């Protein structure tokens, strides 16, 4: 036995001889570490899947949305258009170089009825380019055409959830649905896109904006059609250039904003959006991890408690070791290593349990999870650190026992 190995073997035998108690002692650490692993992996997984989805939209898209600043009644904007209009989109397409196309989006929440069934759902009015921009794949039927758009045809492409609600397992294509007393023909059903924070949910309907306008359209005082947002497709080269400021300039002029007034709209690129989302998700993940880390702290206090009890119980052992020539630091290291071994074991078991939980979540909860190596390494080293921190005082206490007093203790 090597000299420096002695505290390890002593500590190891100390742990292994009290298996049940050792396990109960580290249970707090196990739960803490598995909570950290599970929550962090769910957070990371969600983040990754959201980013993937955003990026699948294409990096060459810009989103123009009405700004919230108009709510504060900025003087320069008063009386002019405070919202985006379809005409704004046309102007951007015509005046800004590098713009490939502009897709208007008109969102409306509508009660949809078919036969005896009805549901309230989100209806998006747009142009035929919508399908390509949002990568919509048809499960059944077709997407609406330019002709449908031009002639304000009351046709609808419905999501799988809407189809399920209104038509069950039967076919929906060719059936009639009613929206606010208007009859609309279903011409297609798109494939499920899964959960989506951006773009289209499965519980929604897409139809020509020209048709949706006749059902629930709004106009500005000057007679322009209001839209909820504009999606601007640009050539890749233009994205890095000044296209955002070009669009901003066009819109400021059209909205007659004074030079000192704030924009009453925002222009965001997919990249920016991804970045913002990523930051938000990161802090969310961190918050989840921090909450889970509190249970690690509680686990550490449990370890300290048991270590103190263990020192009292093993006073005689400490006395014997000291009589044999053990220095204070031998005893100190022994108990410290014992505490660290306990929490290390807790950390390793916790990683396994957390990995299991996150696997279950991804399998049965239909959520993406990512157990990444850095979280595992972090969780295990933190649990060892917890052992060292909370084992410090008990180990110090043990090392300070007088050999005479310790030997006199009866077992």
Partner 1 sequence: MIEIKGIVKSYPMGRRELRVLQGIDLLVADGEMVAIMGPSGSGKSTLLNIIGCLDSPTSGTYLLDGKDVSRLSGSELATIRGRKIGFVFQSYNLLPRLSALANVKLGLSYAGVRDMRLASEALERVGLADRANHRPTELSGGEQQRVAIARAVAKKPSLILADEPTGNLDSKSGREIIAILTGLHREHNITLVMITHDPGVAHFCQRIVHMSDGQVVSEERP
Residues of the shown chain interacting with partner 1 in the complex, contacts defined by CB under 8 A: 1-3, 6, 10, 13-14, 17, 316-317, 319-328, 330, 403-404, 407
The structure tokens listed for 354 are: 């957390």
Report, in this order, helix, strand and coil percent for the chain, each rounded to 5.
Answer: 55, 20, 25
Q: In whole angstroms, how close is the CB of 322 to partner 1 at the nearest point?
A: 7
Q: In whole angstroms, how close is the CB of 312 to partner 1 at the nearest point?
A: 17
CA distance 40 to 376: 10
Q: In whole angstroms, how close is the CB of 334 to partner 1 at the nearest point?
A: 11
Q: Which is nearer to partner 1, 46 or 399 (CB)?
A: 399
Q: In whole angstroms, how close is the CB of 329 to partner 1 at the nearest point?
A: 8
Q: In whole angstroms, how close is the CB of 274 to partner 1 at the nearest point?
A: 58
Which residue do the tokens 């106009």 mark? 219
The structure tokens listed for 63 are: 């989103």
Secondary structure of residue 201 in the 3-state scheme: coil
The structure tokens listed for 380 are: 């295990």
β-bridge partners, 66: 265
Q: Which is nearer to partner 1, 249 or 404 (CB)?
A: 404
User: How far out from the chain centre does Cα 218 lie?
Assistant: 34
Which residue do the tokens 């330019």 mark? 146
CA distance 263 to 74: 10
In Å, what is the CA distance from 77 to each residue of 45, 49, 247, 259? Answer: 43, 39, 17, 11
Q: Which is nearer to partner 1, 256 or 408 (CB)?
A: 408
Q: Which is nearer to partner 1, 323 or 360 (CB)?
A: 323
Q: In whole angstroms, how close is the CB of 9 to partner 1 at the nearest point?
A: 9
Q: In whole angstroms, how close is the CB of 400 to partner 1 at the nearest point?
A: 9
In Å, what is the CA distance from 201 to each residue of 28, 104, 127, 194, 196? Answer: 41, 18, 18, 8, 6
In Å, what is the CA distance from 123 to each residue of 110, 138, 179, 239? Answer: 7, 17, 10, 30
Q: Which is nearer to partner 1, 8 or 355 (CB)?
A: 8
The structure tokens listed for 153 are: 């045809």
Which residue do the tokens 């289209």 mark? 200
CA distance 212 to 184: 10
Residue 229 near residue 47 (C-beta atoms within 8 A): no
Q: In whole angstroms, how close is the CB of 387 to partner 1 at the nearest point?
A: 21
Q: Which is nearer to partner 1, 2 or 120 (CB)?
A: 2
CA distance 322 to 332: 12
Q: Which is nearer to partner 1, 7 or 350 (CB)?
A: 7
Q: Which is nearer to partner 1, 3 or 374 (CB)?
A: 3
């Amino acid at each position: 036995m090597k000299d420096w190995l002695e505290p390890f073997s002593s500590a190891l035998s100390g742990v292994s001889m009290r298996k049940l108690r050792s396990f109960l002692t580290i249970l707090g650490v196990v739960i803490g570490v598995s909570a950290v692993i599970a929550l962090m992996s769910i957070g990371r997984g969600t983040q990754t899947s959201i980013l993937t989805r955003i990026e699948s939209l294409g990096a060459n898209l810009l989103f123009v949305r009405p700004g919230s600043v108009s709510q504060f009644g900025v003087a320069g904007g008063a009386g002019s258009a405070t919202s985006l209009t379809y005409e704004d989109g046309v102007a951007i397409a015509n005046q800004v170089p590098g713009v490939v196309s502009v897709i208007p989006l008109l969102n409306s929440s509508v009660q949809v009825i078919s036969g005896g069934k009805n549901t309230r759902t989100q209806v998006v009015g747009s142009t035929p380019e919508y399908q390509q921009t949002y990568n919509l794949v048809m499960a059944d039927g077709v997407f609406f055409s330019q002709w449908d758009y031009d002639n304000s045809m009351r046709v609808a492409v419905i999501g799988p959830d809407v189809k399920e609600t209104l038509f069950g397992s039967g076919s929906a294509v060719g059936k009639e649905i009613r929206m606010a007393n208007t009859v609309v023909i279903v011409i297609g059903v798109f494939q499920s896109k899964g959960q989506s924070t951006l773009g289209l949910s499965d519980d929604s309907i897409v139809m020509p904006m020209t048709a949706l306008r006749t059902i629930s359209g709004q106009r500005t005082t000057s007679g322009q059609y209001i839209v909820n947002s504009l999606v601007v497709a640009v050539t890749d080269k233009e994205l890095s250039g000044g296209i955002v400021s070009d669009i901003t300039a066009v819109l400021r002029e059209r909205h007659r904003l004074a030079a000192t007034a704030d924009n009453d709209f925002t222009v965001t690129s997919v990249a920016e959006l991804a970045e913002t989302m990523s930051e938000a998700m990161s802090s969310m993940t961190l918050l989840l991890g921090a909450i889970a880390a509190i249970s690690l702290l509680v686990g550490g206090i449990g370890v300290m408690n048991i270590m103190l009890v263990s020192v009292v119980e093993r006073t005689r052992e400490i006395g014997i070791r000291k009589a044999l020539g053990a220095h204070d630091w031998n005893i100190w290291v022994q108990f410290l290593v014992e505490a660290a071994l306990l929490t290390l074991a807790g950390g390793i078991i916790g990683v396994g349990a957390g990995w299991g939980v996150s696997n279950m979540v991804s399998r049965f909860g239909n959520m993406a999870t990512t157990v990444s190596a850095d979280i595992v390494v972090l969780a295990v080293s933190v649990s060892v650190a917890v052992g060292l921190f909370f084992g410090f005082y008990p180990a110090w206490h043990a090392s300070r026992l007088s050999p005479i007093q310790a030997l006199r203790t009866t077992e």
